[in-house]
Amino acid sequence: MANVLVIGSGAREHAIAATMLKSPQVTTVYCAPGNPGMKKDQIQIVDIDEMDFPKLVEFAKEHLIDLTFVGPEVPLSKGIVDAFIAARLRVFGPDESAARLESDKNFAKGFMQRNNIPTAKFKTFTDFAAAKHYADELSLPLVVKENGLAAGKGVTIVKDADDLEPTIKTALDKSGEILIEEFLEGEEFSLMLFVGGDKKVVFPISQDHKKIDEGETGPNTGGMGAYSPVPHITQEVLDTTIHEIVDPTMVGLAKEDLEFAGIIYVGCMLTKQGPKVIEYNLRLGDPETQVLLPQLESDFYQMTSDLIDRKLPDIKWQQGDFYLGVVIAAPGYPTSPKQHIALPADLPGNIFYAGVTEEDGKLYSSGGRIFTLYNHASTLECAQAKVYAELSRLDLHEFYYRKDIGFRDL
C-alpha cells in the first residue's frame, strides 16, 4: 500500500489528490500546503510551504511517502524535483533544467528552433533600440513577452503603432529581457500529456476560458472554467499536433538530456499553416485538470508510478460524456479579490477547492479563485445545464463566476 504527497494548494492539486485516493493501492494522500476544503475528501493537509524543499523532503521521509506529485510551476522552476531525487525519493515532475522550457521563454524558443518545432518567428532583446528596430520589421499586430514566469500576465499583443514603444519600454523595465514575436492568427487549443522518458499518455483535449468576462473579454486570469472533450478540435488536428509537435518535442528532450517523468502541456495555435506552439508548460493546467482527471477510469497512482519507471501504463478513459467545470472567484479578481467571504454551508461534493481558509469549522474565501464545481453528461449542453443549475441553487451572490463556460462548442 502506498502513501502519496501532492505539492500545491489549488483546485488542480485537490483534483490530483482526490484522483490518487481513488487508487486501490493508495492509503493516505497528503497535500502540502493544501487547503482546508480538501479535508472533505479525506486528504490530509500538511502545513509546509511549497517552496520549503528541505522540510518537504524531511516530511516525505518521515511519513514513508512512496510518490510525490508536484502541481505548480514555481517550485518546479526552483528545483523541487532535484531536491527529492537527491534524497532518493520518487517524484513526478521535471527537474530544474527541463522546467526551463516553461520558466524561460527564450530557452523554450531556442529549443523549438533547434528541434524544428513550428512556432512564431521571434527574437530576444535586452536593448530598446534593437527591439524597436526588429518590431518595425515585423508587421502589426505583434506580441511582446517578458521573459520568466508571469502567471499569464507578461504578454502584450500590440495592435496599434502608438502602443509599440511604451509596451517595449514597460516590458524591458519589468523583466530586463523581452521577446518580440510574430502574431499567430487562429484557434487556440491546448494538449496535455503525461510522459516518462520516451513513453507518453495523451490526455483528452480540454478548453480553458482565460478571460474574466463572458465571451472571452476583459483581463486575463488563471482560468475561469473548462470543458472536455472539445468537439471543434478534430482527431485530425490532434494527430497532426502529435506528429509535428509532440514527437519532435520528446526527441528533442532526449537529445538535449532533458528527459523526465511529468507533464508536457503544449499551448498551441491552429494557424492556416497548421498547429504552432505558443508556449510549453511543464505542469497540469488549472482549471483543465478539474475536468480531465475525473475522466480517468484506470489507476492514477499506477500510471504516474509506471511513468517514473519509464514504463508505458495501461490507461482507460471514460467514453461518451462531456465534463465541464466553472470556477467560482471572489469579486475583484484578478486585480484585488475581496477576502473573507463565507462560503455557503450546503456545498455539494463535486467541488475542488482552491483559495479557502477555515474558521470554527466554516470555510471562508482567501484568494482569487475559490473553487471549481464540475459535472458531466452525455452532451456538452446537458453538462453545462447541470453545472449552472447546481450553482443557481447555491447562495453565491457574493461571488463571481462566468455564465458561458463551454460557449464555443454550443
Interface residue list for ligand GLY (CB under 6 A): 208, 223, 281, 285-286, 288
CA dihedral angle for residue 373, residue 376, residue 377, residue 383, rounded to 10 degrees: 30
Q: C-beta of 19: minimal distance to ligand AMP in Å?
A: 26
Best CA proximity match to 267, nearest among 330, 195, 186: 186
Q: C-beta of 275: minimal distance to ligand AMP in Å?
A: 13
Hey, which residues between 330 and 389 contact ligand AMP (CB under 6 A)? none
> Could you tell which of ligand AMP, ligand GLY, none binds residue 143, using a CB distance below 5 to 8 A set by kind?
ligand AMP
| 188 lines the binding site for ligand AMP (CB under 6 A) | yes
| 143 lines the binding site for ligand AMP (CB under 6 A) | yes
Q: Using alpha carbons, list the distances in angstroms from residue 357 to 44, 85, 189, 331, 360.
A: 15, 32, 33, 17, 10
Binding mask 250-289 for ligand AMP (x = CB under 6 A): -----------------x----------xx----------
- 293 phi, psi to nearest 5 deg: -60, -35
For the chain, how big is the Rg over CA atoms in Å?
Answer: 21
Q: Which residue has the cell 482569487?
A: 368
Number of helices (H), then strands (E), in the chain: 13, 22
| 79 lines the binding site for ligand AMP (CB under 6 A) | no
Q: C-beta of 127: minimal distance to ligand GLY in Å?
A: 30
- 26 phi, psi to nearest 5 deg: -100, 130
Alpha carbon 195 to its chain centroid, in Å, reads 15
Question: Residue 109's CB: how many other CB atoms inside 10 A?
Answer: 23
Q: C-beta of 333: minimal distance to ligand AMP in Å?
A: 18
CA distance linking residue 76 with residue 282, whole number of Å: 8
Q: C-beta of 220: minimal distance to ligand GLY in Å?
A: 10
> Could you tell which of ligand AMP, ligand GLY, none binds residue 285, using a CB distance below 5 to 8 A set by kind?
ligand GLY
Best CA proximity match to 34, nearest among 22, 16, 58, 20: 16
Hey, which residues between 95 and 134 contact ligand AMP (CB under 6 A)? 120
Nearer to ligand AMP, 168 or 278 (CB): 278
Nearer to ligand AMP, 90 or 105 (CB): 105
Hey, which residues between 212 and 231 contact ligand AMP (CB under 6 A)? none
Query: Exactly one of 46, 140, 155, 193 binds ligand AMP (CB under 6 A); which one?
Result: 155
Instruction: List the end-to-end C-alpha distance of the chain, in Å, as a whole number.
Output: 44
| 144 lines the binding site for ligand AMP (CB under 6 A) | no
> Could you tell which of ligand GLY, ligand AMP, none binds residue 279, using a CB distance below 5 to 8 A set by kind?
ligand AMP
Best CA proximity match to 228, nearest among 286, 283, 295: 295
Q: C-beta of 346: minimal distance to ligand GLY in Å?
A: 28
> Which residues make up the interface to ligand AMP (CB under 6 A)?
120, 143, 152, 155, 181, 183-184, 188, 267, 278-279
